[in-house]
Amino acid sequence: MRKKILSIILSLVLVALIVVPAFADEAKNNYNPVLIVTGISEYAIVDGNGDNVFPLESDQTASLVAKVAPSVAKYLVDKDSDALMDTLIPAFKDWLSPMACNPDGSVTYPETHLKYQFRESVEEEGIENVGCTDALDKDILQATVDAVGADKVYVYGLDWRIDPMVIADEINDYIQHIKQVTGYSKVSVAAISMGGVMTSAYLAKYGYNDVSHVTMISSAFTGVDMVGQLFCKKVVLDETGAQRLINQLISIKGVSKVIEMTGLLKKLVPLLSTLVDEQIDRVYDEVLIPIFGYNPSIWSFVDDEVYEEAKATMLAGADPSFEGVIDAYHYGVQVRAKEILQNAKNAGVKIAIVSNYNLQISPITDRSNYNADTVIETRHTSGFATVALLGETLGENYKQAKYTDKNYLSSDGVIDASTCYFPENTWFIKDMYHVGFDIESNNNDIYTWLMTADRQMDIHSNPLYPQFNIYEDDIKLLHPLDMVAGDVNHDGEANLVDVRIVLRASKSLTSIDDAVGFMLADFDKDKEITENDADLILNYVAGVK
């Protein structure tokens, strides 16, 4: 009898081993293919010799620094800004000129090109190629492959010198190719950073019949305040912002504190401000306007608030036709972004916007105290949520700007999401960098969930991902803002009681049934509750992170 029971059990196990993977594959096969439209620095641009132009490789950066360092050192002594510029400007023009555009917006050097462009699926191209060091961020790529299968993930590499309306044509070509190859009638588009600009241009030009999802990830689809201010020649160095940025970027404990204690920035910022005052016109006339002023793609970053003012500053020497080129995107796409996305949503396209906050942007304009993700301001990546200045809140007496039937205020008092384009379909992540994807954490899960959802998701659809979330980089955990990592019983703190619950759950003496509690308990992100999770939470509680 025992042998018979054992044989039945083994048979069931064997069936499970065969059937479960089959069901998993079938589930993956039900997902539409995904096209990832990358951002401005995901794929290297090289010159005719194959040398990186942007971003520079480490040895190239070292060479550039070595070239200008003596002049910088000399300037610190004699304060001769003209002599300094005589060295800096030629050095930076040598670096940036291969990326220049002509006064009519066309590319100056056609031999400059993307180092990589992968037209076929990740399965055919090889994930080791598509996810190589100087190509697409391998973490979001791997997460998407894990979600839908390598045969259904495609990547569009962005050459950010080209007019967004032209890139829209290329994205359409990709989508038509993907449909033909895969047999699917629709494609899920994930737009990262500047990829949101290009995806918006595609939707404006080609509509949305071929698209199942549009997931905007840290996207610049409504502009970037910093770029708009720079295009208006409003350069302001912010000492507080500089120190805050140093604190964010320097991972070695104590280094940023030493910089603060020595007062280095207090001495350096006034010196650099004087340099800006003396040389700003020369820098714009000789470098910024010739190289970036005629770049139609960069103009897509200039937000509507300052767009006309920026044209008065940056179009000196431009061909008369160029204004029409940039107006086509600005007035035909950027200012219509809400309308374009709303029309897509009305037609059944699943729209999702993910925006990060609580980080410092480059401290070079008077808007550097705007809440950001280090690269783009939160108000832009969210489609104009109302956001407190960095380090501040909206105030104790602040009232939600729009709607009264639902709460769109973050519990930390920083964001009022009622004013953004899609309050019900916009998610926020506190303390996550612009594209801070990490395959070792769970922070990719929110994106793949939205890319593959079988219906329009909203901020109430999944308890794991409410409207406001936080990413704790030191423990690699994304979780709801109102929850504490390790707080399995939701009493407001992680303590030994939670450790005991997790330990008991690992021995099947109790169960953690709610999804959020399970996520807060699963510290090693292996989708199981084990003794290792209990040990990690114990270390976390003890302050050993």
Of the candidates 435, 444, 451, 449, the residue with the CA atom closest to the CA atom of residue 38: 435
pLDDT 10s digit of each residue in the chain, 545 long? Answer: 444 434 433 443 333 433 444 434 444 568 999 999 999 878 889 998 998 888 888 888 899 999 999 999 999 899 999 999 999 999 999 999 999 999 999 999 999 999 889 999 999 999 988 987 666 668 999 999 999 999 999 999 999 999 999 999 999 999 999 999 999 999 999 999 999 999 999 999 999 999 999 999 999 999 999 999 999 999 999 989 998 988 888 755 566 566 666 777 788 889 899 999 999 999 999 999 999 999 999 999 999 999 999 999 999 899 999 999 999 999 999 999 999 999 999 999 999 999 999 999 999 999 999 999 999 999 999 999 999 999 999 999 999 999 988 999 999 999 999 999 999 999 999 999 998 899 888 999 999 999 999 999 999 999 999 999 999 998 999 999 999 999 999 998 999 999 999 999 999 989 998 889 998 999 888 889 999 999 999 998 888 65
pLDDT of residue 13: 39
Torsion of CA 536, 538, 543, 545, to 10 degrees: 0
Distances (CA, A) of 78 to 12, 74, 346: 83, 6, 64
pTM for the model stands at 0.91
- Residue for token pair 């030191």: 474
DSSP-assigned states of every residue in 476-525: TEEEETTS-TT-TT-SSS--HHHHHHHHHHHTTSS---SHHHHHHH-TT-
Residue 303 half-sphere exposure toward CB, CA atoms < 13 A? 19
Q: List the Cα angle 301/302/306 in 5-degree steps.
A: 160
pLDDT of residue 132: 75
pLDDT of residue 451: 97
**Structural domains of the chain, ranges and CATH numbers in brackets:** 55-110+224-234+256-334 (no CATH), 486-541 (1.10.1330)
What is the rounded end-to-end Cα distance, in angstroms, of the chain?
52
Of the candidates 384, 258, 231, the residue with the CA atom closest to the CA atom of residue 316: 231
Phi, psi of 416 (to 5 degrees): -115, 105
Contact call for residues 127 and 150 (beta carbons, < 8 A): yes
Torsion of CA 186, 192, 197, 203, to 10 degrees: 10
pLDDT of residue 3: 43
Contact call for residues 64 and 182 (beta carbons, < 8 A): no
DSSP-assigned states of every residue in 279-346: HHHHHIIIIIIIIIIT-TTGGGGS-TTTHHHHHHHH-TT--HHHHHHHHHHHHHTGGGHHHHHHHHHH
Question: Using only C-alpha atoms, what is the Rg of the chain?
Answer: 25
Three-state secondary-structure class, residue 91: helix
pLDDT of residue 23: 38
Q: Which helix (H) or strand (E) holds 114?
A: strand 113-114
* Tokens of residue 81, six digits: 């800004």
Q: How many CB atoms lie within 10 A of CB 257?
A: 12
Contact call for residues 167 and 201 (beta carbons, < 8 A): yes
d(C-alpha 500, C-alpha 531), whole Å: 10
Q: Which helix (H) or strand (E) holds 9?
A: helix 2-29
Q: How deeply is 226 buried, as exposed, middle or buried, from its count of CB atoms within 10 A (0-12, 13-18, 19+)?
A: buried
3-state helix, strand, coil in the chain (%, to 5): 50, 10, 40
* Tokens of residue 26, six digits: 């079938």
